[in-house]
Amino acid sequence: MKQAARDCGFALAGLARAEPLPPEPLMRWLAAGYAADLTWMAETAAARLDPSRVQPGIRAVLALAIPYHRPADEVSSLARYARGRDYHYTHRDRLKRLRKRLLQLDPGLWSYACVDTGHVMERPWAVRAGLGWVGKNGCLINPELGSWLTLSVMFLNRDVDAYDTPGEDLCGSCDRCLKACPTEAFPEPRVVDARKCIAYHSIENRGAVPRDVRPGFRAGAFGCDICQEVCPYNRRPVPSLQDPAGAARPLSAWPLEALATLSREDWERLSPGTALPRIGYVGLRRNAVLALGAARKTAARTLLEALRHDPEPQVAEAADWALARLLQRTETLRAATESAEAASASPPRRPPGQGR
C-alpha cells in the first residue's frame, strides 16, 4: 500500500490505526475562540475526532504528503504553497490513482479520501502514521523534508499487516518560529490563534481585517511563511523534488502594485486552478493594498491615493489605512531630520570652566 502511494506521486506515506483522537486539544482550541469564524470546525468536531463518525467499519488510516519546496531565488508576494497549482486538485488526482491501485490489491476495499476540506484533521493522523511531528508553529515537520508539505488522508475498512510509529517531537528548545511571528499569533507552542494569524486573515477572512493585525501583512498578499522560513528543518538540503504541478503560475510573480490594481479580466483568466479563489478577487486586491501599507512602500503613494476612490469599499478602506501609514512614516522621518538639523545648528557647548 505504501509503495502504491509513492508510485502515485506521494513523497510520504504512513499507516495508523483508526482509533479516535484525543478530544482535549481541539475542544480547548475551540473553547478559547482561536478558530475565529471557522464555525465548521466546531460543527464537525465529532467526525474530526472519530473516524467511525465518518463511516462505520474504518480500520486503518493512510496518511500522505506532497512537498512544495520552491527555488531559493524565487520572488513572490504569495505564500509558497499558493504559487503553483491548487494542492487540493493535485492531491485529489493522485488519490484517485491510488484508489484504483489499492482496488487492484483488494477489490472489496472501501475507502474515503480527504484533502483539507472534509471532516478530517490531517496533521494528527500524519503524526500517528510516522510522517513527522507537529512543530511549535502548528505545522507538520518531517525530519528530512521539513514543513513544506501538503497533506491528505485515506480511511480504509481493512486492517494492515504493520502500522507505523508516531513521529518523535524534535523541536527541542528551539522557539524561533514563536519569536518570528509578526502578530504574536501563538498563545503557546503548537497553538495558533486564527484571530491574530496573517494566514487566516489573508486567505479566509473576507471581512474587515483588524487594524492591529494589518502591519503583519508585510508578509505578503496571500498567506504567511514567516514561521516556516525561520525553522531550522527548512534550511536543510532536501532531495531534488521536481513536480510539474508545482510550477509557478503567472500571478505568483506579480508585484504588490500589480495585484492591487488587478483587473477582473486578468483575475478570471489567471486565477483558475490556483489557491487564490479562496480569498476572491476583492480579497486579493485588499490584501495587496494592506501589504503595501504594512511595508510602508513610499513609492506606492500615488497609487494608494488613486485607490482611495476604488469602487470596491474594502480596497478603498485599505488604501486609506495604507496611505495614512505612509504619511505617518513621512512625518516621523521629517521630525527626525528637523531634530538632527537643529542639533547640528546649535552652538557647541563649552567645556566646564571655560568661556567666563
* Residues belonging to the active site: 116
Beta strands (DSSP E) in the chain are 12-17, 60-67, 111-114, 133-134, 140-141, 149-156
Distances (CA, A) of 354 to 347, 348, 349: 15, 12, 10
Q: What are phi and psi of 35, to 5 degrees?
A: -80, -5
Angle at 204 between CA 80 and CA 214, to 5 degrees: 80
Q: What is the DSSP letter of 193?
A: -
Q: How far apart are CA 248 and CA 328, in angstroms?
A: 36
What's the CA gap between 244 and 90, in Å, rounded? 10
Q: Which cell numbers in the block locate residue 144?
A: 528530512
What would the grid cell of residue 182 be? Answer: 509578526
Grid coordinates of 39: 464555525
Q: Decide: 72 and 57 in contact? Cβ < 8 Å.
A: no
Within 8 A by CB and 6+ apart from 118, the residues are none
- Kindly tell me the burial class for residue 274, based on how many C-beta atoms sit within 10 Å of its own C-beta (0-12, 13-18, 19 or more): buried
Residue whose C-alpha cell is 505504501: 2
- Burial of 266 per CB tally in 10 Å (0-12, 13-18, 19+): middle
9: number of Cβ within 10 Å: 17
DSSP state of 84: S
Q: Are 136 and 48 in contact (CB under 8 A)?
A: no
Q: Does residue 13 contact residue 117 with C-beta atoms inside 8 Å?
A: no
Beta bridge partners of 134: 140
